[in-house]
Structure 1
Amino acid sequence: MTTFEIYKRRRRYISQSTRIILISVGLGAIGGCSTLPAAGPTSAQIRRAETKDNQTGFQIVDIDAATTARLAIHGATTTPLATLDEVGRTDTLGPGDTLSIGIFEVGVTLFTRGNGAAAQSSFTPSASGTDLTVRVDSSGNVQLPYVGRVSVVGKTPGQVERTIEQGMIGLSQRPQVVVAVKTNAFNVFYVSGDIRTPGRFELGLPRERLLDAIARAGGTTNQPNDMIVRVTRSARSAETRLSEINASGDQNIALLPGDRIELFNRPRTFLVFGATEKVSQVAFGASSLSLAEAMARIGGPSERTADPAAVYLFRYDTSLGAEPKPIVYRLNMIRADSYFLSQRVEMQDKDVIYVSSAAANAPGKMTQIIGQLFTPLALARSLTQ
């Protein structure tokens, strides 16, 4: 066989292979467009999923004027910290407090009468009176010489003064008692978490409020929109975002002894999928965010692959009842009024935005695939000619 005959046979083989591949690809293109790579379901596929194999029971709701009235930005609608607010005092004594008790007498005094009594007591006689330092025990009592056990828990220093004076009647001439808190271990609150100076702080006589306490602890270095404030009082606790606490609002509760304040970072985010420039998780970065602002942050629908008439907001909605319901809100960005409506829809934490791929993308993708398949064949054919 000559070289020319070998060359002709090779060309016939390549031509036959090319025709076979063309036929195979053409047949695949007729019935296989739905299996082409895609960023997610098309609008038609989402509509079909609502009525077929809908395991979560989601519903598709168009964003219109009626829907927007329910989804509009209203600001903070709940005040969870306000449920902890109650009347209380910060001037009473409790276990662990260290008290300074001054006792003043006239004439022959009880505490200086006889060296034996003075030597056996934990007090210091002076020209003007006697100073004692005592600690409130776990039962809320203090032990005083001659007077005995005195219950001070839940009482103010003034009430304890009168109690001690009553106990000294008949033992001393016109006794006068002054009680002061030397070390405060009961009227305190605690601040922990993402705060500059965590620790234990004493409560002043005027009832301090929550924002005052956070300021005393140095505040936080993070954005208030991302910070959660949790207050635990006795066996109850509640939390809200720091940005939702106003100085004059009912969430700026007055503190009580033993309150524990925790601050931790929990940014609100939404997720982006589908025909956009990038699948991502995006932080709110503000106290409130509208759907229009969220779309702008992700760069909007892709001009090359997206169907702007099919932008979906996936959400477990709690505005329709006590139990969260899976709702898919559909926004048609081809309509001009949708840009007004989307400005009023408030984003919620962990919302999912999905931009559907355009159905017209399938033929274009098939053309790209065919071109990629035949580029090597064309190159081989040119080399054999």
Structure 2
Amino acid sequence: MSVRWAKPIAVLTAIAVVASCTLPRTGPNKREIFAGSVQKEGDAFIVAVNDRVTRATAVVPALGFSDSFKNASQLTSDTIRPGDVLGLTVWENVDDGLLAGEATNSTILEEVQVDSAGFIFVPYAGRVRASGNTPNQLRETITTKLEDQTPDPQVQVRRLAGDGATVSLTGAVGGQGVYPIERPTRTLSSMLAKAGGVTITPEIAQVTVIRGSQQGQVWFQDLYDNPKLDISLRGGDRILVEEDTRSYTALGATNSQARVAFETQDLSALEALAQIGGLLSTSSDPTGVFIFRNEPAEIAGQVLGRTDLEGAQRMVYVLNLTEPNGLFVARDFVIRDEDTIYVTEAPYAQWTKAISLVAGGLTPIANVATISDSF
């Protein structure tokens, strides 16, 4: 009997020796992570995630416009501003008028630009203030100035597109450029449509509007979900459309170890794991899914039930997917920008590696006798 069991015992001893050595692995195990907790004189708070923790940490950076943006009234296409371009037509009730030639009784003045002081020049009417007037008011003014020199003049004023009320669009839009604010394009969504819409995935498109020293930012989809965010535009507005830059890092026993961009506005831990291909069935430990994060003091205080914290706190959130509601908790836990998701290896993974080194790649081990017969 002693001879029979000598080889198996020797094999097990060798495996134990190898397992006690530092074998290749993807990172720290659960024991090593917990050793760095504040309770053990480490520098990180380690918290098991439950429903209360998910509610306290479900904070997503809010995007939106200030009241000054949302309360701005729509520009009317009737009000003339400096930089606008006008078109004038003057009819005269004589064969040989002041402006008209011999063969016609009308004169067309195209692209008359309103200068920076708000005036235009009209032959025989002189310098006329246009800014602040409607086309009809300007028509009456020009008519009054001309009727002393030609009988019964008829004047038409048309407001054309000009640089007095334009916005610039850059970034991920169909057509970058400078666009006039016209009757159909007075709001943000209509102006984006005029520019050909967004050229990136709408779910992760962010729209920034810069107005003077102020700026606001919204999700593209929110313009349609919340009409209050579809603000009225002002001349000089700069509109930038860009892709969401948020990301998280995935490490450990997962199908993909990389920096991963957000694919939706809100991302849960379960969705984040799905993005990287899920856990490895042969080596991942579903009880050891960790989220590393620098948490603001106010949120960390709510999670820990403390009021004495100052500054960002190192937090390590632990998900146990094997618990009865583990998947629900992972579905509700919100991942934020710059989070690190780390999945530990299952304990047997190191054991399997040790067996592979001793038994020449025989894994998993069926029984001790199998190994002993190979010697």
Is the shorter-chain TM-score for this pair beyond 0.5, marking a shared fold? yes
| Equivalent runs, 1:162-201 vs 2, <5 Å | 162-165=140-143, 167=145, 176-201=154-179
The number of residue pairs the alignment matches comes to: 336
C-alpha contact 1:197 1:217 (8 A) present in aligned 2: yes
Distance 1:351 1:107, change over 3 A: same
Gaps of 5+ in 2: 1-10, 301-309, 362-375
Distance 1:298 1:205, change over 3 A: closer
C-alpha contact 1:81 1:231 (8 A) present in aligned 2: no
Residues 1:135 and 2:121 aligned together: no
In 2, the alpha carbon distance for the partners of 1:127 and 1:278 equals: 78
Distance 1:366 1:83, change over 3 A: farther
In 2, the alpha carbon distance for the partners of 1:178 and 1:68 equals: 66
The normalised TM-score by structure 2 is 0.73
Q: Match of 1:351?
A: 339
Letter of the structure 2 residue corresponding to residue 190 of structure 1:
S
DSSP-derived class of the 2:271 partner? helix
Residues 1:250 and 2:236 aligned together: no
In 2, the alpha carbon distance for the partners of 1:346 and 1:27 equals: 41
| Equivalent runs, 1:1-385 vs 2, <5 Å | 33=21, 35-51=22-38, 58-72=44-58, 77-80=62-65, 84-85=69-70, 86-91=72-77, 92-103=79-90, 112=98, 128-133=105-110, 134-165=112-143, 167=145, 176-205=154-183, 208-246=186-224, 248-266=226-244, 268-317=246-295, 320=299, 325-359=313-347, 361-371=349-359
Q: Shift of the alpha carbon at 1:37?
A: 2.5
Cα RMSD after superposing both structures? 3.9
For residues 52-107 of structure 1, what are the alpha-carbon distances to aligned partners after superposition, in whole Å with 9 as ceiling and x for unaligned? 785xx54222211211223459x885424776332242423234433223345668
For residues 148-190 of structure 1, what are the alpha-carbon distances to aligned partners after superposition, in whole Å with 9 as ceiling and x for unaligned? 3223234322332344345557666665543212443323333
Distance 1:206 1:297, change over 3 A: closer
Gaps of 5+ in 1: 1-21, 113-117, 374-385
Letter of the structure 2 residue corresponding to residue 46 of structure 1:
I
Distance 1:107 1:190, change over 3 A: same
Aligned identity (percent) is 27
DSSP-derived class of the 1:155 partner? coil
Q: Match of 1:115?
A: none
Letter of the structure 2 residue corresponding to residue 87 of structure 1:
S
Greater shift, 98-107 or 305-314, is seen at: 98-107
In 1, the alpha carbon distance for the partners of 2:184 and 2:271 equals: 43
In 2, the alpha carbon distance for the partners of 1:130 and 1:63 equals: 78
Greater Rg over alpha carbons, structure: 1
Greater shift, 99-108 or 293-302, is seen at: 99-108
Q: Shift of the alpha carbon at 1:330?
A: 1.0
The normalised TM-score by structure 1 is 0.71
Greater shift, 156-165 or 124-133, is seen at: 124-133
C-alpha contact 2:185 2:191 (8 A) present in aligned 1: no
Letter of the structure 2 residue corresponding to residue 153 of structure 1:
S
Q: Match of 2:365?
A: none
C-alpha contact 2:165 2:235 (8 A) present in aligned 1: yes
DSSP-derived class of the 2:292 partner? strand
Letter of the structure 2 residue corresponding to residue 63 of structure 1:
V
Distance 1:70 1:268, change over 3 A: same
C-alpha contact 2:63 2:217 (8 A) present in aligned 1: no
Greater shift, 172-181 or 61-70, is seen at: 172-181
